[in-house]
Amino acid sequence: MPIAYLGLGSNLDAGHYLRLASRELRSRFSLQKISAVYRSKALGFDGADFLNAVACIETELTPHDLCTQLELIHEVAGRRRRSGKLISRTLDIDLLLYDQLVLDEPPVRLPREDVLRYSFVLRPLAEIAPHYRHPVTGKLISDHWREFDVASHPLTAVEHVL
């Protein structure tokens, strides 16, 4: 069965919405792992700090069908899509990786560029999938994390049970 990695994030009542995401993922998929939760400053706009984590699921859904299910979870969380990506949100769930698939069929782009761009994605991913090879670079996720400039966007682990 395919393995998918999902980025979870929230900066509006973040603990509540990350727990909601965890419950929804457990009810819809075979949740294999979920990382610790990390706090980081909002990037690109003034807003409350974000809480982020990464989840690993098994699913028989195609990447496009999986994204449809993730949008349904966004609806459960009351997320309203607005123009502009850099805004506060109740919940954001992004498909980061799907097996070793490389795909560019908008809105699905795999692997998601955020994996190598942001500490709040790469750090929790490296925690739960250190030996996963990035489908484009071929390098281990743990190696990418070791080489990442952590000072560019600091993280703090926080106590949240998902």
- Asked, for residue 86, whether it belongs to a domain, the answer is yes
pLDDT at 80 over 80: no
Look up the CATH number of the domain holding residue 112: 3.30.70.560
Domain contains 53: yes
Q: What is the pLDDT of residues 24-70, one digit of tens each?
A: 999 999 999 999 999 999 988 888 999 999 999 999 999 999 999 99
- Token digits of residue 103: 């795909």
The whole-angstrom distance between residue 149's C-alpha and the CA centroid of its chain comes to: 19
11 falls within a domain? yes
Query: For residue 76, what pLDDT band results from cuts at 50, 70 and 90?
Result: very high
Q: Is 120 a member of any domain?
A: yes
Please give the Cα distance from 136 to 92 (Å, whole number).
Answer: 24
In a domain, 113, yes or no: yes
pTM exceeds 0.75 for this model: yes
Domain total of the chain: 1
Token reading at 36: 């610790």
State how far the Cα of 88 lies from the Cα of 78, in Å rounded to an integer: 13
Residue 162 lies in a domain: no
Residue 34 counted as domain residue: yes
Q: What's the pLDDT tens digit per position in 91-123?
A: 999 999 999 999 999 889 999 999 999 999 999
DSSP character for 28? H
In the chain the beta strands, taken as DSSP E runs, fall at 3-10, 30-34, 37-40, 50-58, 92-98, 103-105, 108-110, 156-158
Tokens 């400039």 correspond to what residue? 149
Q: Are 110 and 98 in contact (CB under 8 A)?
A: yes
Does any domain span residue 12? yes
Determine the structural domain holding residue 141 and report its residue range.
3-157
